[in-house]
Amino acid sequence: MLKTVIAGWAGIAVAFAIIDLIWLGRVADGFYRSQMGALRADTVNIPAAIAFYLIMVTGILVFAVLPAVRAESVWAALGAGAFLGFLCYATYDLTNLATLRNWPLMMTLVDLVWGTVLTGIASVAGYYAARAAAGA
């Protein structure tokens, strides 16, 4: 079981980090700059970013991947992962929309879709990594 957990966590972490870094660094960088304006920091707070990734990957493992492995269903991984991503990103984006002056609605909508898709894909990657480690 430990091998399954470690492999699942690693699969999620690699997929989530690579896909998110491509999205943030290449695909959507201009969009985020235009939407966030002065709210965006000049440099990334690395400790905070690492903390987010560690917490998010662990949450994906616990709430999406391990239950899907037990159910032997990649669709369960995708569905639970996508829903978890939606919940997590909604917490961030809708709180910002509710509490920050001039937080863009378009930013909220794009980020909600991104979090849903990213977390769903990372969950599938973690599922397959965990299943491979389990010999299934």
Residue 133: both structure tokens together: 């480690």
Residue 136 has pLDDT above 80, yes or no: no
The CA distance from 67 to 8, in Å, is 12
Question: Is pLDDT at 60 greater than 90 in this prediction?
Answer: yes
Q: Does the structure show a pLDDT above 90 at 77?
A: yes
Tokens representing residue 51 in the block: 């903390």
Looking at the predicted structure, is the pLDDT value of residue 45 above 90?
yes
Distance CA 74, CA 49 (A): 28
Q: Which two tokens stand for residue 105?
A: 């609605």
Contact between 19 and 122 under an 8 Å Cβ cutoff? The reply is yes
pLDDT value of residue 130: 98
Task: Quote the pLDDT of residue 135.
Answer: 85
Tokens of 135: 């010999």
Selected residue with higher pLDDT from 119 and 42: 119
Output the CA–CA distances (angstroms, integers) from residue 136 to 40, 87, 126, in the order listed.
44, 30, 14
Mean pLDDT over the full length of the chain:
95
pLDDT of residue 29: 84
Amino acid at 34: S
Question: What pLDDT, on a 0 to 100 scale, did the predictor assign at position 41?
Answer: 87
Residues 11/124, Cβ–Cβ less than 8 Å: no
Gyration radius of the chain over CA positions: 16
pLDDT at residue 27, as a whole number: 87
pLDDT at 39 > cutoff 90: no
pLDDT of residue 5: 96
